[in-house]
Amino acid sequence: MSNSSASVLILFAHPALEKSRVNRALMEAVRDLDGVTFHDLYQQYPDFHIDVDREQSLLRQHRSVVFQHPLYWYSCPALVKEWVDLVLEYGFAYGEGGDVLDGKHWLSAISTAGTLRAYCEKGSNQYTIREFLRPFEQSALLCNMRWLPPYVVHNSQQISDPELDRAAENYRRLIERLRDRPDVSVPAGQHSYINKWLEQEPAGGN
């Protein structure tokens, strides 16, 4: 599964994939791409015993890191937090000598049942997805990584099949773009979601 020439590492986390529709579709869209390592955390570490050495060597081998997971309680599933706690060590990811992640992309690919309208000041969730993802954004910053606006699929419980197909297709294009253009930069301030940028950038364009 780990591919030395791969450039995108997808850290996928879903504790109940058997019930998932959106994440399954997204997963299937990117899992077999060349140059992409799809790393299913809940499948690898059902007991939460993360092999830190192995995870760190995976990080070394890739230029972009994608965290793909559903939004649980406005954050990530527990195993992703455990992963961050243990793998992003002092001296590896940050602090003295902690330069391994310098310049690598950090992309969060999120699915959520809430609609875009729910995630705003007037909405039921009061804050935007971007605001909820601040801890991740700051973590990327601490590790000297390049934070990208998140890829978000809203309304995951009711999304129609054609819409889901389009979301999966866009996700595949995004991952391919990251793979083929490792120095792509999307100013985080410019777009709240990377979905927008994807729509503006024509396929294959530079």
Q: How far apart are the first and last CA of the chain?
A: 29
Least CB distance from residue 100 to another protein, whole Å?
Answer: 15
Least CB distance from residue 136 to another protein, whole Å?
Answer: 17
Alpha helices (runs of H) in 51-160, residue ranges in sequence order: 52-61, 78-87, 129-132, 134-142
Q: Is 135 in the site for another protein (CB under 8 A)?
A: no
Give phi and psi for 12, each to the nearest 5.
-100, 130
CA distance 126 to 134: 15
- Residue with token string 């299937």: 28
Q: Is 116 in the site for another protein (CB under 8 A)?
A: no
Least CB distance from residue 77 to another protein, whole Å?
Answer: 18
Question: Which tokens hold the place of 10?
Answer: 């997808």
Q: Is 57 in the site for another protein (CB under 8 A)?
A: no
Give the one residue of 2, 16, 57, 95 binding another protein; rule: CB under 8 A. Answer: 95
**Stretch of 11-19, 87-95, 109-117, 140-148 lying at the interface with another protein (CB under 8 A):** 87-95
Among 1, 26, 25, 23, smallest CA distance to 14 is for: 23
- Residue with token string 């992409």: 36
Least CB distance from residue 85 to another protein, whole Å?
Answer: 5
Least CB distance from residue 43 to another protein, whole Å?
Answer: 16
Length of the chain: 206
Q: Is 91 in the site for another protein (CB under 8 A)?
A: yes
Contacting positions for another protein (CB under 8 A): 47, 49, 51-52, 85-86, 89-91, 95-96
